[in-house]
Amino acid sequence: MEKNRIFLFLIILVFTLSGCASIKKAGINMISDVMAGEGSSELFTGDDDPELIKDALPFILKMYEMLAGENPEDPALLLATGSSFIMYSNVFIQTEAEMLSDDDYEEQYRMLHRAKNMYRRGADYLFRSLELSHPGFSELLRQGLVDEALADMTVEDVPAMYWAASGLMGEFSTDPLDFELGPQVYKPVALIYKALELDETFNNGAIHDLLIMINSSLPGAMMFKAGGENPSSTALFVEEYYKAANAVSQADRARYHFERSVEINGNSSVMPYVSLASTLSVNEQNYPEFEELLTTALEIDPEAFPEMRLASIIFQEKARWLLDHRSDYFLLNFDEGDF
């Protein structure tokens, strides 16, 4: 609450003193420090009122963009800006779009197109953040030189790498038939596996949650760059990582990441349950697993993971929706108990 009051005061100060350049700049720098500081995102992710945050976030996103425009070489601010766009796109645009009925096809298409643009917008800020720490990174990745682009990454880069990968994978998930994005998917895959190599416990297992989705949804042939005589260092790491885990198939790998996520977060997160149920369980037409995972997700207390209270509430709503719409995903006669 104290941080909220300071933040509001600083915003008022900036606009009140906008005629004095030096004071305005000082105010903007102070707001930037608050907005990009440790725990700043918990002002939103820790809230328990999705509608309040949904209404407030567009203003917050524009505030972030204004601050990033004034402080374009602040990597922490760029990270906060990019991750906020990606969270907003995932939670309040794509998730809501996917829960629309088939009759709302045009609205769903519009929302998914908007989510796609938001994901890209967020990812661009994150690439700028990584570029500041690693000059030349963006160009190397653009050229497909993944090993060279990731060679100097450290554990401090994991947040930006995770969110950049999330943004690019989110962009692809809204339009998997985009023939320009498809051949580039190996790049965010490399980013997330490098983040896994450096710090698998980041954000209470969030990297594993993303890898559940990737291994459940993405064809193996798309995960690594085609061609070349030698496999990339990412591919070699992945091979050794899963060999140690005795996870051979992509289904095995998705379930392994589920287990690791639950272990890391102490069974306090809804995300791994909803992620596995909505992807692999559906793909395999395993309804008993689907039901068990979503029922367990609904039993988790959002207070058990207060930093992600908002996401827990929203994805529990998605779990209820998935159970209510189970006949859309499974070729079973639920009226006759055919499962």
pLDDT tens digits, 159-171: 999 999 999 999 9
pLDDT at position 50: 85
Asked if 214 contacts 153 with a C-beta cutoff of 8 angstroms, the reply is no
**What are 255-265's pLDDT values in tens digits?**
999 999 999 99
* Per-residue pLDDT tens over the stretch 283-315: 999 999 999 999 999 999 999 888 888 889 999
- Whether residue 276 has pLDDT greater than 80: yes
| Assigned CATH for 54-266 | 1.25.40.920
User: In Å, how far from its chain's centre is CA 9?
Assistant: 31
The C-alpha atoms of residue 89 and residue 83 are separated, in whole angstroms, by 10
39 vs 282: which has the higher pLDDT = 282
Q: Given this model, what pLDDT does residue 226 score? A: 60
CA distance 324 to 321: 5
Question: For residue 31, is pLDDT > 60?
Answer: no
- Quick one: pLDDT at residue 306? 86
C-alpha–C-alpha distance, residues 42 and 177, integer Å: 35
Please report which confidence band the pLDDT of residue 13 belongs to, taking 50, 70 and 90 as the band edges: very low
Interior CA angle at 270 toward 264 and 274, to 5°? 110
d(CA 157, CA 129): 9
pTM: 0.88
- Which pLDDT band holds residue 333 (cuts at 50, 70, 90)? confident
- Pair of tokens at residue 81: 């800006």
For the chain, the domains span 54-266
Residue located via tokens 């149920």: 277
CA distance 8 to 170: 32
Is a pLDDT exceeding 80 seen at residue 219?
Answer: yes
Whole-number Cα distances in Å, 58 to 13, 49, 92: 21, 16, 11
When pLDDT is averaged across residues 257-283 and rounded to a whole number, the result is 97
Using the predicted structure, report yes or no on whether residue 34 has a pLDDT greater than 70: no
Task: Give the pLDDT mean for 68-73.
Answer: 90
- CA distance linking residue 286 with residue 187, whole number of Å: 31
Report the C-alpha gap between 275 and 289 in whole angstroms.
12
**CB 191 within 8 Å of CB 153:** no
Contact 248, 308 (CB under 8 A): no
What contacts 337, CB < 8 A, 6 or more positions away? none
Give tens-digit pLDDT for 176-190: 999 999 999 999 999
Spell out the residues 6+ positions from residue 288 whose beta carbon is closer than 8 angstroms to its own: 339
**What is the reported pLDDT for 33?**
55
